[in-house]
Amino acid sequence: MFTEERLEQILKILNETGRIKVKELSERFNVSEGMIRKDLQRLEKIEALQRTYGGAILNRKLSKTSSISTRMSVNLSSKEIISQKAFSLIDNGDVVFLDSSSINFLLAKLIANSTKLITLITNMSLIPPLFKDNETVKLICIGGVYDNKSGGVLGSEVIKSISKYTFNKGFIGSSGVNLITNSVGTISLEDGNVKETIISNSKESFLLIEKEKFNVDGTYRFATLDDLDVIITDSNLNDDVIEKLEKLTTRLI
């Protein structure tokens, strides 16, 4: 086996397991441990992994806190594609929940400019002004303590209010998804608790996420992918991501 082929195989194993050991790779590829260490050094230089004592771990990014206004200007074209896909799944008569996320803000814009007859519930403070001229949507605003990072209201009162409703479609955002552990994360405990409640009260729950987020870990895990019914993302996912998602019961759009 050529070196490049071995490096490709090492990365494949790492993407499947999250961590690797020098001794196990040495035995698997029938090369010296010194050779494997050189392989790991090469992969570390291109930031594909992080070496540890006796092996290496996958080099995943940790999500960073940023304001909602900043997030609305990042990956805008991808977010527009996702919001349009989500919009096409909303039917007249639906009771819909939109949590506080940049993609949901774009989705709310599409709903506000349409004639769909739905009930819309949200904890995102930036959404209600979009509906000042809309006469077909019944808008229910959840009250609570405003959080300027998420752009929505959070806290125990929010969770209590959401728990009183049942909606057939709940749309939520995420700061990162780990396909090794199948975990779905967000930045803060408070935001995560709200998302958990939305999932519990939704007949169908939809995760709206850009493809870049599959390489990012959230600080707080609020769900596993099996807790969700549908993942809506943009196109051009790499083959490894598609293969892992297809093994889940969660539908991919």
- Same domain for 99 and 210, yes or no, is yes
Q: Taking the CA atoms of 12, 17, 23 and 24 in sequence, report the sign of the dihedral they define.
A: negative
Q: Give the pLDDT band (50/70/90) at residue 66.
A: confident
- Same domain for 200 and 75, yes or no, is yes
- Same domain for 115 and 51, yes or no, is no
Question: Comparing 150 with 95, which gets the higher pLDDT?
Answer: 95
Token pair belonging to 183: 């975990």
- Same domain for 204 and 182, yes or no, is yes
> Which residue, of 59, 77, 104, is where some domain finishes?
59
- Same domain for 161 and 113, yes or no, is yes
Token pair belonging to 43: 């992969």
User: Residue-wise over 2-27: b if at least 16 C-beta within 10 A, else e?
Assistant: eeeebbeebbeebbeeeebebeebbe
pTM recorded for the entire structure:
0.81
Range of the domain at 47: 3-59
- Same domain for 35 and 73, yes or no, is no
Write down the pLDDT at residue 13. 81
Residue 8 maps to which CATH number?
Answer: 1.10.10.10
Q: Give the pLDDT band (50/70/90) at residue 153.
A: very high
Question: Comparing 71 with 124, which gets the higher pLDDT?
Answer: 124
Residue 179 maps to which CATH number?
Answer: 3.40.50.1360
- Same domain for 122 and 218, yes or no, is yes
Write down the pLDDT at residue 48. 74
| Tens of pLDDT, residues 158-170 | 999 999 999 999 9
Write down the pLDDT at residue 95. 98
Token pair belonging to 149: 């990072």
Q: For residue 49, what are the CA distances in angstroms to 10, 26, 217, 227, 253?
A: 10, 17, 15, 29, 29
Q: Measuring CA to CA, which residue among 169, 163, 175 is closest to residue 100?
A: 175
For the segment 70-75, the average pLDDT, to the nearest whole number, is 78
Query: Side-chain half-sphere of 216: how many Cα atoms within 13 Å?
Result: 18
Q: State the total domains in the chain.
A: 2
Q: For residue 195, what are the CA distances in angstroms to 12, 77, 229?
A: 32, 24, 14
For the segment 49-55, the average pLDDT, to the nearest whole number, is 84
Q: Give the pLDDT band (50/70/90) at residue 86.
A: very high
Question: Comparing 12 with 183, which gets the higher pLDDT?
Answer: 183
> Which residue, of 35, 59, 83, is where some domain finishes?
59
> Which residue, of 11, 39, 59, is where some domain finishes?
59
- Same domain for 246 and 216, yes or no, is yes
> What DSSP string runs through 138-159?
EEEEPPSEEETTTTEEESHHHH
- Same domain for 184 and 82, yes or no, is yes
